A and B are shown apart, each in its own frame.
Chain A
Amino acid sequence: MTSAVEFTLPAVNVEEKLFQNRYRIDAGRPHIKVRNADTCTACELKPCTVCCPAGCWRVDTDGGIELVVDGCLECGTCRLVCDEANVDWNYPRGGFGILFKFG
């Protein structure tokens, strides 16, 4: 879609937003895992790094993926945008993870 006006969306600090949320972290038991790290390194687009609303997926210095699930909003997006089906996605154990105050 062409734009009449050139416009770039503002940069966003997602971590600042997540700071307002309430979580109970299940330390050492991440509910999302990468199945095969090499698959992520070979993936060109890395849609998870763009589409995840919580910024849990980052490109690391070696061109691979760094996944930190602590801020996860449990939406399920990363599982669906991965063309390689490389996301082992589960809900956290009962009671853990995001605890929405308002929802």
Chain B
Amino acid sequence: MEQFDVIVVGAGPAGNAAAYTLAKGGLNVLQLERGESPGTKNVQGAILYADALEKIIPDFRDSAPLERHVAEQRMWLMDENQSCTGVSYRDARFSQEPFNRYTIIRARFDRWFSEQVKAAGALVVCETTVTGLLRNDTGKVIGVRTEREQGDILAGCVILADGANALVGSRAGLRPEIDGKNMALAVKEVLFLPKETLEARFNIGGKQGVVIEIAGNITHGMAGTGFLYTNKDSIAIGIGCMLTDLKRQQLTPGQLLEGLKQHPAVAPLIDGAEMKEYSAHLIPEGGYKALPQLVGDGWMIVGDSAGFVNAVHREGSNLAMTSGRFAAECLIDLHQAGQNATAANLSGYKQRLDDSFVMADLKKYQHVPDLLNDQPQFLGLYPRLVGDAARQMLVVDGEPKRAKQQRIMAQFRDKRSLLGLLGDAYRFWRAFR
């Protein structure tokens, strides 16, 4: 049986970053993907963070299928069906090369990334689902089992980049099962519009794009957010909520998305657009406290499979690519030193993560998941109060402004006593500091 230096399970951003880096480093790499081609099983908003990819493929801009660079970021607080309070940040520097963030269409981008992986020398085999791991009598992982006939394949190390459900690692007992309380479900549609119409509606030209992140009661009091991203001639619109909330509220994800699409702040933007795909995906949002063990004898976990998502900043693919690169760099070092992939040797991967933004950011926001689970007012009540305050101050009706101001303050105190407000301010500061 042929033995590979490394087997990478999955061809998303983490798996592709790992396989590419390993192949470039001269290792004999097999990458297994269950989709018909890389990208056909993958779902993301999607924003590409150039920095993470640049560190892997510095000249990616020359050939990668990029939709638009992000020229403007809007942040909206929306109620269920009437109002929207928002801020926009447009910066001329966002439209100067090299661009920092791009919208992408993942099925196209992942196919491109995979072509780079193959060109770097890795063997990429699609339509193959990994069903288990092979272990030797000391428990070291020595390969994978696939559903194909005679589908056992050996390797010096296995990198699990199998995505948010993390089936392979948990079924092999390398890590606990993922917990529904740490997972958000996001649903998304891709809506097509003529390029000119789209650019006029979003006040953009050339290759500029707009990103809109949405919070507030549009999620009906559940911990979650919505988004709207502009591609070249399409709009990606989606909404995600924590699974435990969704279960409790008895609202279907499809209804939530429909509510967002019909909201008066959104409906004119997507009017007349043609829906061409409906997708769904889990997002691991448990953060630092939910991370599993990341390495063991003969194995490493990267990307969504490990739970590398910064939910506060809506970042994940950059953490995925960076973790995949770190895992590969650690193995390249070991390979050059003629050392095996023991748990102790693979701790170099963990060290790289600890020394980078990946762990620094996850640690920074480690209390946020608890805050949002226990204190739903941050997502429901406060956005509503802010919206109400804006409406009262903006309606010109002959009432003196001081009276309006006093009533608004009273509404805040009424909904959440003075002590409650102070407590929330403290909890907010503690979670986000």
Task: Please list the residues of chain A having a beta carbon within 8 angstroms of any beta carbon in chain B.
Answer: 1, 3-5, 7, 9-12, 14, 17-18, 20-21, 24, 45, 47, 50-51, 53-55, 73-77, 79-81, 90-95, 97-103
Contact A50-B164, Cβ < 8 Å, known A1-B221, A100-B43, A100-B277: no
Pairs across A and B, CB under 8 Å, 24 listed: A1-B221, A3-B217, A9-B251, A17-B189, A17-B254, A18-B278, A21-B278, A51-B243, A73-B279, A75-B282, A76-B165, A77-B185, A77-B280, A80-B180, A80-B282, A94-B127, A94-B146, A94-B148, A95-B34, A98-B41, A98-B279, A100-B279, A103-B39, A103-B46
Sorted nearest first, the 4 A-B pairs with minimum C-beta distance are: A1-B221, A95-B127, A103-B106, A80-B180
Task: Please name the residue on chain B nearest to A99 by beta carbon.
Answer: B40
CB-CB < 8 A to B277: which residues of A? 20-21, 100-102
A19's nearest neighbour on chain B, judged by CB, is B278
Is B388 at the interface (CB under 8 A from chain A)? Answer: yes
Contact A102 B190 (CB under 8 A): yes
Number of A-B residue pairs at CB separation under 8 A: 162
Flag whether B255 is at the interface (Cβ < 8 A): yes
Chain A residues with CB below 8 A from B187, complex form: 53
How distant is the Cα of A21 from the Cα of B279 in the complex, in angstroms? 8
Q: Which one, B85-93, B256-264, B357-365, is touching chain A? A: B256-264
CB of A100 within 8 A of CB of B243, answer no
- A50 CA to B131 CA in the complex, in Å? 29
Q: Residue among A1, A55, A79 with the most chain B CB within 10 A?
A: A1
**Is B107 an interface residue, CB under 8 A from the partner?**
yes
Question: Are B42 and A1 in touch, CB under 8 angstroms?
Answer: no
Task: Please tell me if the beta carbons of B107 and A12 are within 8 angstroms of each other in the complex.
Answer: no
Among B195-203, B305-313, B376-384, the stretch that binds chain A is: B376-384
Q: Which residues of B contact A76 (CB under 8 A)?
A: 164-165, 282
On chain B, the residues within 8 Å of A5 by CB distance are 79-82
Q: Which of B174-228 contact A (CB under 8 A)?
A: 178-180, 183, 185, 187, 189-190, 217, 220-221
> Does B217 lie within 8 Å of A93, measured CB to CB?
no
Within 8 A of A (CB), among B91-146: 105-108, 110, 126-129, 131, 146
Q: What separation, in Å, do the CA atoms of A98 and B34 have in the docked complex? A: 11
How long is the Cα–Cα vector from A101 to B36 in the complex, in angstroms? 11
Min CB–CB distance A73 → chain B (angstroms): 4
CB distance from A52 to the nearest CB of B (A): 8
B402 within 8 A of A: no
Question: Most A CB atoms within 10 A — which of B35, B106, B107, B236?
Answer: B35
- In the complex, are the beta carbons of B275 and A20 less than 8 A apart? yes
Cα distance, A46 to B234, chains bound together (Å): 36
CB neighbours (8 Å) of A103 from chain B are: 39-44, 46, 105-107, 110, 279
CB within 8 Å of A: which B243-286 residues? 243, 246-247, 250-259, 262, 275-282
Interface members, chain B 381-430 (any A CB < 8 Å): 381, 384, 388
Instruction: Judge if B167 is at the interface, Cβ distance under 8 Å.
Output: yes
Residues in B neighbouring A11, C-beta threshold 8 A: 255
Instruction: Given contact pairs A1-B217, A95-B34, A103-B40, enumerate 14 new A-B contacts (beta carbons under 8 Å).
Output: A1-B221, A5-B81, A14-B252, A14-B278, A53-B252, A81-B243, A81-B247, A92-B34, A93-B129, A95-B35, A95-B36, A100-B41, A103-B44, A103-B107
Q: With A53-B253, A103-B39, A103-B42 as given contacts, are A9 and B258 in contact (CB-CB < 8 Å)?
A: yes
Q: B185, A50: Cβ atoms under 8 Å?
A: no
A100 and B221 alpha carbons, distance in the complex (Å): 30
Closest chain A residue to B42, Cβ basis: A103
Residue pair A51, B247 in contact (C-beta under 8 Å): yes
Q: How far is the CA of A91 from the CA of B168 in the complex (A)?
A: 11
